[in-house]
Chains A and B, each alone.
Chain A
Amino acid sequence: MISELDGRARTWISVSIVAFLAAAVLLPFVGPTRLDYHNVWLRHDPDWSILSRLRLSRTLLALMGGGALALAGSLFQSMLREALATPYTLGVSTGASLGAVISIALNWHVVVGIGGVWAGAFVGAAVVLFIVMGAARRERQLSVSGLLLAGIAINSVCGALILLVYGLTGMSQSFAVSRWLIGGLDAIDFSTLGLYAAVVGPLSVAVIAQARQWNLLAVGESWAATRGAAVSRALFTGYLAGSVLAAATVALTGPIGFVGLVVPHLLRSRVGGDDRIVMPCAFFFGGVLLASCDALGRVVLAPAEVPAGAITAFIGGPHLVWLVRRGTLR
């Protein structure tokens, strides 16, 4: 017997995968420079290089980054039962930003063999993680309200510290810092992209594989515990996984967080609250949304570029407000 739920899940997930693959193939062709398809076909430069190096790497980064952020957002929303919970609202991303900004301000290009911004972002996220988890621990148990409150508090502290660092830096660095803080996608080399994929891919699979556990936690902690879930361990691993997904993405894109908030909500209003459907769809559709917004940002005011984060906010924000108004959201 193939149940209705299995069928619905299969349809939604297949559609999201097809959209993801289509975006990966088609979006690199979108850009301010008109490509000569004959040259592309013959693999002649510069057209072939623009497509295969610059635009392809950027599109893949957007697809994976949007996916990682949307997945981390839906994970935090389920796990913490809070509509506004994402790594962006709960400090981790701001911590990563602070670390990145400090390493830009101090002109650390390379730290122990890896890029200074990457290293800074990871250290920043790890410090925030350590503080928030330490604050939210009571009698060897993590509490949801503790994670929320400590996260929001640390978020504003990191925001203030970013402003402080920004004020203390010299002219040239402060330009680099503000450029980074706007956030946005850029072409990156394939070895960095490969490293990023090696972090995000397995972690996303691991998170999605635990979807039944996140479903239980979305009802309540004692509900989950008395159905057989190890609640404290689940909160710990979930918080860690969401934070790593967010920090790795922030390190490459700067702070673009709205995807993580908006995509899970749009999906829940359509497919219901089952994370076995919501989470894989959030990953694939989140990637498609960010990559499409980035492609749009490349051409809409060409030759100027509108950062992808701004486009997602322009499109996603009003859509979210409209859903709230209609009352279809939770």
Chain B
Amino acid sequence: MSDAIVSVRDVSWRAGNTDVLDRVRLDVRPGEFVAVMGRNGAGKSTLLDIIAGLRAATAGDVLLDGRAVSEQSPIDRARLVAHLPQTIRGDLSVRAEALVLMGRYVHATGWFESADDRAIAADAMRRCDCVQFRDRIVSTLSGGERQRVLLAACFAQRPRVLLLDEPATFLDLDQQLECFTLLRDETRQGMACLAVTHDVNLAATFCSRLTVLAERSVAFDLEAATALDAPEWLHAISPRLAVHPSANGRPWVGYR
């Protein structure tokens, strides 16, 4: 698939003597919102790290916009890809706006960010509903508030690929829905997005594609719209999941 912006080609990754990922293949096109799912230790975060260039694959390579990620400079990569970490240190003594402005690192040329950079950062904070925290010190924000600020920093980077390691962590239910709605709207405008998530219903409702990692590889790769019509893939996540019809007729994953 030549139109893929992210192309994972037979990527393997070993930790010591353990194979975490073994010849994983995955292509993501602009406009796709991919939920990366699987059990703890399935290699979800590792896969995201390899795509982001944070870890080097033991074998295989990832192409970003047609070029091998290992051959791109950190600046080239940061122009293409933004990565939302699972968490950052809690004692950070910078203002929230300064953290968002860090997303402009590769774009801003001066020692201080320009008025344009500030406008982009302010816009990103508005979209992530955190502009009201702009002057707060990051260490005083709650987990969910901090998560929205970090997401705003990723948007301020204006990436073509957004990698999110559990973006819904710390978010209350309303903010989880807001966050996934925002990500769905952004990807519809051409961004590619890979999000690690454990919430099956959230993924099936908002994502365009579900990728389930199991047994060191991609076990299932499904269109989100029809995924729940043939729900055997849920076993790869937990045997205690089952599809029930919901009140509005849409299938819904419940617990046994």
Question: Are A330 and B94 within 8 A (Cβ)?
Answer: no
* A272/B137 contact (C-beta < 8 A), A5-B98, A228-B106 known: yes
Chain B nearest Cβ from A277, distance in angstroms: 10
User: How far apart are the CA atoms of A330 and B89 in the complex, in Å?
Assistant: 12
Question: Are B93 and A226 within 8 A (Cβ)?
Answer: no
Question: Are B112 and A227 within 8 A (Cβ)?
Answer: no
Binary interface encoding of chain A residues 227-241 relative to chain B, with 1 for a CB under 8 A from any of its CBs, else 0: 111110000000000
Q: Which of B41-86 contact A (CB under 8 A)?
A: 49, 52-54, 56, 73-75, 77-79, 81-83, 85
Question: Are A216 and B91 within 8 A (Cβ)?
Answer: no
* A225/B93 contact (C-beta < 8 A), A219-B88, A230-B73, A276-B112 known: no
A274 at the B interface (CB under 8 A): yes
Report the contact-size class of chain A (Cβ under 8 Å from the partner).
20 to 34
User: How far apart are the CA atoms of A46 and B99 in the complex, in Å?
Assistant: 56
Select one of A209, A226, A273 contacting B92, CB under 8 A.
A273
Question: Are A211 and B139 within 8 A (Cβ)?
Answer: no
Question: Are A227 and B103 within 8 A (Cβ)?
Answer: yes
Select one of A6, A211, A216, A226 contacting B81, CB under 8 A.
A226
Question: Are A330 and B93 within 8 A (Cβ)?
Answer: yes
Question: Are A225 and B54 within 8 A (Cβ)?
Answer: yes
When distances are taken between beta carbons in the complex, the residues of chain B under 8 Å from A276 are 111-112
Question: Are B92 and A219 within 8 A (Cβ)?
Answer: yes
A135 at the B interface (CB under 8 A): no
Question: Are A3 and B118 within 8 A (Cβ)?
Answer: yes
Question: Are A218 and B49 within 8 A (Cβ)?
Answer: no
User: How far apart are the CA atoms of A222 and B163 in the complex, in Å?
Assistant: 13
State how many residues of chain B have any CB contact under 8 Å with chain A.
Answer: 36
- Closest residue of chain A to B154 (Cβ to Cβ) is A226
User: How far apart are the CA atoms of A268 and B98 in the complex, in Å?
Assistant: 14
B241 at the A interface (CB under 8 A): no
Question: Are A220 and B78 within 8 A (Cβ)?
Answer: no
User: How far apart are the CA atoms of A31 and B139 in the complex, in Å?
Assistant: 45
- Closest residue of chain B to A208 (Cβ to Cβ) is B111
Question: Are A1 and B115 within 8 A (Cβ)?
Answer: yes
B157 at the A interface (CB under 8 A): yes
Select one of B73, B74, B93 contacting A268, CB under 8 A.
B93
When distances are taken between beta carbons in the complex, the residues of chain A under 8 Å from B89 are 81, 219-220
- Closest residue of chain B to A268 (Cβ to Cβ) is B93
A320 at the B interface (CB under 8 A): no
User: How far apart are the CA atoms of A1 and B112 in the complex, in Å?
Assistant: 13
* A228/B99 contact (C-beta < 8 A), A272-B94, A273-B93 known: no
- Closest residue of chain B to A9 (Cβ to Cβ) is B112
B95 at the A interface (CB under 8 A): yes
User: How far apart are the CA atoms of A222 and B105 in the complex, in Å?
Assistant: 14
User: How far apart are the CA atoms of A229 and B105 in the complex, in Å?
Assistant: 8
Question: Are B92 and A216 within 8 A (Cβ)?
Answer: no
A109 at the B interface (CB under 8 A): no
* A228/B85 contact (C-beta < 8 A), A3-B118, A6-B112 known: no
* A228/B105 contact (C-beta < 8 A), A5-B112, A220-B89 known: yes
B102 at the A interface (CB under 8 A): yes
Residues of chain B touching chain A, judged by Cβ–Cβ distance below 8 Å, are 49, 52-54, 56, 73-75, 77-79, 81-83, 85, 88-89, 91-95, 98-99, 102-103, 105-106, 108, 111-112, 115, 118, 137, 139, 157
List 6 A–B pairs whose Cβ atoms lie within 8 Å, in order of A's numbering.
A216-B102, A218-B92, A220-B88, A226-B52, A226-B77, A228-B74
Q: A215-B98, A226-B53 are in contact. List 17 more A-B contacts (CB 8 A).
A: A9-B112, A212-B111, A216-B102, A218-B94, A219-B94, A219-B99, A220-B88, A222-B54, A223-B88, A225-B52, A225-B53, A226-B52, A227-B78, A227-B105, A230-B74, A272-B94, A276-B111
